[in-house]
């Protein structure tokens, strides 16, 4: 049973995350995001070899096909803000840097999604097997004298939420993150799902 203030706490956390993301977007230099992307490319290339080149080309291809024309128009509008006697050169440069940061940030997210999709090929069967093992373990316990653990069940739920939040954070954070975080989160999700399902109460 959830506490009455759980929803209020969730709203506060969500608002805090939103403010943090907006503040990061306002102040982060494009070079920081570019450096994070290049750092992660080097790590993935050390693991995947030439496959990383295809992954990078796919990420950039998707980005250029979907938004290159729009972003080019945005950059022209930003440059136009600094023209003329009433133009504000400082604001024009800041706007241009925010457009570049947005482009690079979206590219970094797209690149990480491609990394995640590569790990999901072995990860999805692992999650399915973990769920089925937990389900049948619970079914066996329903007809035995083994007690279910509500503590482990609650731990499984919490770990699942932590993994989901960690996955969202990994996709969005514009700083270098170890390349092996994706398989670690996949394995953690499988374990937490097994812990959750295997300890469901017998009466459910």
Is this prediction's pTM over 0.95? no
Give the tens place of pLDDT for each residue, 32-63.
998 988 888 888 878 777 766 776 666 666 66
Cβ partners under 8 Å of residue 104, min gap 6: 30, 33, 34, 37
Domain boundary assignment for the chain: 19-198
Give the tens place of pLDDT for each residue, 166-192.
888 898 899 888 878 888 988 988 988
What does the angle CA 92 – CA 95 – CA 99 come to, to the nearest 5 degrees? 135
Cβ atoms of 120 and 186 within 8 Å: the answer is yes
Residue 32: CA count within 13 A, CB half-sphere: 13
Q: Which residues of the chain have pLDDT under 50?
A: 1-2, 204
Assigned token pair, 112: 């990480």
């Amino acid at each position: 049973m959830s506490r009455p203030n759980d929803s209020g706490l969730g709203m506060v956390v969500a608002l805090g995350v939103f403010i943090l993301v907006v503040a990061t977007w306002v102040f982060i230099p494009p070079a920081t995001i570019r450096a994070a992307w290049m750092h992660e490319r080097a790590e993935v290339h050390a693991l995947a070899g030439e496959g990383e080149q295809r992954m990078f080309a796919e990420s950039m291809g998707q980005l250029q096909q979907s938004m290159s024309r729009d972003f080019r128009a945005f950059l022209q509008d930003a440059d136009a803000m600094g023209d003329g006697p009433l133009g504000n050169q400082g604001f024009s440069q800041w706007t241009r840097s925010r457009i570049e940061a947005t482009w690079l940030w979206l590219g970094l997210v797209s690149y990480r999604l491609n990394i995640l999709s590569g790990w999901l090929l072995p990860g999805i069967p692992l999650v399915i097997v973990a769920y089925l093992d937990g389900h049948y373990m619970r079914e066996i316990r329903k007809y035995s004298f083994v007690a279910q653990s509500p503590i482990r069940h609650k731990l499984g739920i919490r770990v699942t939420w932590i993994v989901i939040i960690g996955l969202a954070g990994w996709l969005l954070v514009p700083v270098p993150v170890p390349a092996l975080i994706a398989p670690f989160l996949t394995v953690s999700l499988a374990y937490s799902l097994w812990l959750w399902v295997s300890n469901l109460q017998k009466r459910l």
